[in-house]
Amino acid sequence: MNTGLPQGFHLAIDADTVQVDTDTLRGGSPVKVLRLSPRGRTAWSELCSGPVRSAAGAALARRLTDVGLAHPRPPVPDTAYSVTVVIPVKDRAEMLRQCLASLDGAYPTVVVDDGSQDRNALADIATARSSTVVHRPRCGGPAAARNTGLHSISTELVAFLDSDCIATTGWIEKLAPHFADPLVAAVAPRVLALDATTSAGRYGEVSGSLDMGAAEGRVLPGSRISYVPSAALIVRREALRDIGLFDERLRYGEDVDLIWRLHEAGLRIRYVPAVQVHHREPQHWPELLARRFRYGTSAAPLAQRHPNAMAPLVVHPWHTATVLAAVTGRPAPTAAAFGLSLWATRSALRRAGLPTTGTLATTGTGLQQTWLGLGRFMIQFSGPVLGALLLRSPGRPAPRRLARAAIASLLLGTPLTTYFQRRPRLDPIRFTLGQLADHAAYGAGVWAGCLRYRTTVPIRPILARPPRRIGAATARSAAQSTMKGSK
């Protein structure tokens, strides 16, 4: 099979991609350095001036989109795609009514009643919108309901949509053209929270558990987009026949498992945040935190299925040493660790063939990411320990004050950074307390799953690997810590 990007596709260069010189591109997630051969430079010129037209252009386009240096822009299709919408639902009659109304009957729709108490009410709503209804005798969970819907359709594509979602006009038409690439198995829009009036709802507007952010890209473990939810997801039905359907043993995390199995099969999953679907987030804190706890419990069974994809934190060793030294409040060890961070960064840049003039800035960025990632990690999995250290830091008064300041910055760094980046409709105190509780609830769920499944994989951070060669001497990894988000 020709694995290049098909002819007719254009490319959009990622906003973070830097052309270091005529032969070198840097960017992606994790960061890569791509070196262009003479043939590659010709292909690069082709892609910069128009669509894919040659075999060399197709191969380079595939490499650029795979590592995140660029993103595909598919051509306008000549014919409409064959799509069926599948909506799993249980006891959400009014939500289902609004969800179906947002679709406006543009595509055939199958509503799967997953053992609702009032089956007739759901059936009446679905029938009024010319939707097919499939009743399950008992509740089997989202995975089982989606699988039931899959068994009843025959179209090329299936668009999964949860009943608590509100679709936007043309979301399917905007995502479906990506399937002109035969390697694309799934495409996801951005799932944004609906406007809310409660404090918990306003928190969810900017910290929704299903929102994967504003940056588009390929979905793969270890990148900034490590998974996408199935609340709104279009999938090539043939790909599911090849890898299997949703795992019905998973009550939560079944969508993450599916995405990772598609990736392991060598297929591509795209995230397109320019296309949006809206979702109802919990409106009260107990409901929100309970959901986060339940999501956390999925980490352990996912780790058993995909142990190499579950690292909660990936950090550079010397960046981590610098942060931990700062927490002790002792300047000398902190300065020594920082010096080693500079040395390690400079060495990594040299190995990657990049200018070393940006060593200080690159080190600073890595330290900031490590600080925020380590803070989030500690809040999730060792929050009480961090709180105890903040209240009772040992040592002499001056180092103790420095240590407390460092610990406080670990606790507050992530929520305050998020607050000032996203500017929620909530005051900083309630937002900070909400995010601390959010992280702690998720971490408690992870711990509960680890105890149940007797594994520590979901709570074990790993160190960043040194730069490695990719392909035939054309690309090498650049040294940069990668912080993995959690669901």
Average pLDDT over residues 276-281: 94
pLDDT in tens, 301-351: 999 999 988 888 888 888 888 888 887 777 888 899 889 888 988 888 887
Provide the pLDDT confidence category of residue 399 given band limits of 50, 70 and 90: low
CB-CB contact of 150 with 230 (8 Å): no
CB-CB contact of 481 with 366 (8 Å): yes
Rg for the chain (alpha carbons), in Å?
24
Q: Where are the domains of the chain?
A: 10-73, 83-283, 314-466
**Comparing C-alpha atoms, which of 179, 184, 4, 217 is closest to residue 77?**
179
Using CA atoms, how far apart are residues 97 and 166, in angstroms rounded to an integer? 10
Provide the pLDDT confidence category of residue 483 given band limits of 50, 70 and 90: very low
Tell me: pLDDT of 388 over 70: no
Give the residues across from 113 on adjacent strands.
Answer: 89, 135
Tell me: pLDDT of 400 over 80: no
Average pLDDT over residues 151-157: 94
Least confident of 276-280, 358-362, 390-394, 466-470: 466-470
Average pLDDT of the residues of the chain: 87
pLDDT in tens, 182-195: 999 999 999 999 98
pLDDT in tens, 203-217: 999 998 899 999 999
Nearby residues of 201 by Cβ (< 8 Å), 6 or more positions away: 193, 281, 282, 283
Using CA atoms, how far apart are residues 35 and 38, in angstroms rounded to an integer? 10
Least confident of 83-87, 148-152, 399-403: 399-403
Widest distance between CA atoms in the chain: 74
Beta carbons within 10 angstroms of residue 133's beta carbon = 17
More confident residue, 442 or 309: 442
Tell me: pLDDT of 475 over 50: no
Distances, alpha carbon 155 to alpha carbons 84, 86, 151, 172, 317, in Å: 6, 11, 11, 14, 49
Percent of the chain with pLDDT over 90: 58
Least confident of 12-16, 144-148, 179-183, 327-331: 327-331
Tell me: pLDDT of 391 over 60: no
Tell me: pLDDT of 112 over 90: yes
pLDDT in tens, 52-90: 999 999 999 999 999 999 999 999 888 888 999 999 999
Place domain 83-283 in its CATH homologous superfamily: Spore Coat Polysaccharide Biosynthesis Protein SpsA; Chain A (3.90.550.10)
First to last CA, the chain: 35
Tell me: pLDDT of 485 over 90: no
pLDDT in tens, 363-376: 888 888 888 888 89
pLDDT in tens, 220-268: 998 889 999 999 999 999 999 889 899 999 999 999 999 999 999 999 9
